[in-house]
Amino acid sequence: MEIKAIRGFNDVLPAEIGKWQFVEKTAREVFEGFGFSEIRIPILERTELFSRGIGEATDIVEKEMYTFTDRSGTSLTLRPEATASMARAYLEHKMYSFDPVAKLYCFGPMFRHERPQKGRYRQFYQIDAEIFGVANPIADAEVILMLIHFLKRVGLENLELEINSLGCRECRPRYREELKRFLADRAFHLCQDCQRRLQSNPLRIFDCKVEACKEAISEAPKVTDFICPECQVHFDRVKEYLGMAGLSYLLNPRMVRGLDYYTRTAFEVVSYQLGSQNAVTGGGRYDNLFQEIGELDIPGIGFAIGIERLISLLPGEKEFVKYPHVFVAASGGGTQKRAYELANQLHLDGIRAEADYEGKSLKSQMRRADKLKARYVLILGEEELNRGRAVLRNMGDKSQEEIPLQDIVDILKDKVKQRGKETF
Ligand code: AMP
């Protein structure tokens, strides 16, 4: 039986990879411009990192983690998100001893055992950016500004920034109690999961997709009516700084985010092109995370962008596939060896050259060049080769010219540059 990929785990094929590379390259440029540095962290961590960091009573920890015991009996988990690992690395390597402020980003796959559907996979990729060590709301505005700038740079439109404040350890418990009280009379309308959540983590009910639960919670009190004066000042500053940066936003008091560690600012960027899975990015402040996983009290703020969802929103007309610059076509006799030699020379000079491997006829090589969408075909005929020349055919306008072979690299470099598409 043929072996297939696991459900919810996807291949990213060469036809798609240009978009991924474009997104990652743009993220690197934008984030490094904002003073962030890349960090690479492991895919496997001890299970406690996530159960303590993300919170036992979250969907992720309760039912979505890929957890197993390894051969030495340790419980390990494939990371469902990157923030907890980045915080662990910051603590483990005492990055704070160099400078308490760390601005970090990373790319990579995350794993959650969710029900696969369009826009929701079991292995999916995220771009994460975090600022550790800054409690000031300037950091909240800065990461949001960087995020929006990045999304615009990759070409997204129809986006909406939604923000909320979730309060802190001091004021959120009061809101939880209020919410419990409000939902107590409506509990029999709630789905089974939400009946459980009502006791363990009532804020999660806001994220439930079941209509009856949405209905039951629609008139619930707003978290922002319960936040303490310090959280209120923080939230007001965030809004002020966003305004100063020219960003508009929507206040969404029902956006609570799925992870326990968020405090104060929570935000999402929503796209109206995506159907039900419409959040392309989520983020927020998490001033308690470090205490859950270590001993230091360090504030943090950041976001995670889902790469698959972001890519599904990229403008369709943009050219992402890298086609060959030139197809070197051998036309009989001893020309195939010369084609091999020339293609190698072009490769070493960074020109994407393809050639025939099978001694096919010129006609079939031309067909292949066409199929591969090569921009030029360099036709090597015996007679021209003897004179140190070859024919260069422009596959776009079908024009042909004879050129000296010794100049081929320079000629091609010039032509490709002129198109303004890329530099070598
Ligand atoms: P979260 O870590 O849950 O805040 O999610 C951050 C972003 O990751 C979301 O806005 C999505 O774009 C993406 N994301 C989360 N879960 C999935 C999933 N199962 N499949 C694909 N993308 C996801």
Beta carbons within 8 Å of 127's beta carbon, 6+ residues apart: 23, 24, 27, 105, 106, 107, 304, 305, 307, 310
Q: Kindly give the residue spans of alpha helices, DSSP state H, lying in 256-355.
A: 289-293, 307-312, 335-348
Q: Which residue has the least CA distance to atom 3 on ligand 1?
A: 258
Express each pLDDT in 345-399 by its tens digit: 999 998 999 999 998 999 999 999 999 999 999 999 999 999 999 999 999 999 9
Q: Using the atom order of ligand 1, give the atom closest to the CA of residue 116.
A: 19
Nearest residue to 237 via CA among 176, 301, 179: 301
Q: Is the pLDDT of residue 132 over 70?
A: yes
The residue among 40 and 332 whose pLDDT is bigger is 40
Give me ligand 1 centre to Cα 407, in Å: 51
The reported pLDDT for the residue numbered 422 is: 45
Give me ligand 1 centre to Cα 166, in Å: 20
Express each pLDDT in 276-330 by its tens digit: 557 889 999 998 899 999 989 999 999 999 999 999 888 776 677 889 999 999 9
The reported pLDDT for the residue numbered 387 is: 93
Could you tell me the pLDDT band of residue 424, with boundaries at 50, 70 and 90?
Answer: very low
Q: Which residue has the least CA distance to atom 14 on ligand 1?
A: 306
Express each pLDDT in 195-252 by its tens digit: 888 888 888 888 888 898 888 888 899 999 999 999 999 999 999 999 999 999 999 9
What percentage of the chain carries pLDDT values higher than 90? 67
The reported pLDDT for the residue numbered 15 is: 87
Q: Is the pLDDT of residue 6 over 90?
A: yes
**pTM of the complete model beyond 0.85:** yes
Vertex 234 angle, CA 228 and 235, to 5°:
90
> In DSSP terms, which residues pair with 164 in a beta bridge?
266
Q: Is the pLDDT of residue 419 over 80?
A: no
Cβ count within 10 A of residue 155: 14
Q: Is the pLDDT of residue 343 over 70?
A: yes
- Residue 172: Cβ-neighbour burial (10 angstroms; 0-12, 13-18, 19+): buried
Q: Using the atom order of ligand 1, give the atom closest to the CA of residue 305.
A: 7
**CB of 349 sitting under 6 A from ligand 1:** no
The reported pLDDT for the residue numbered 397 is: 94
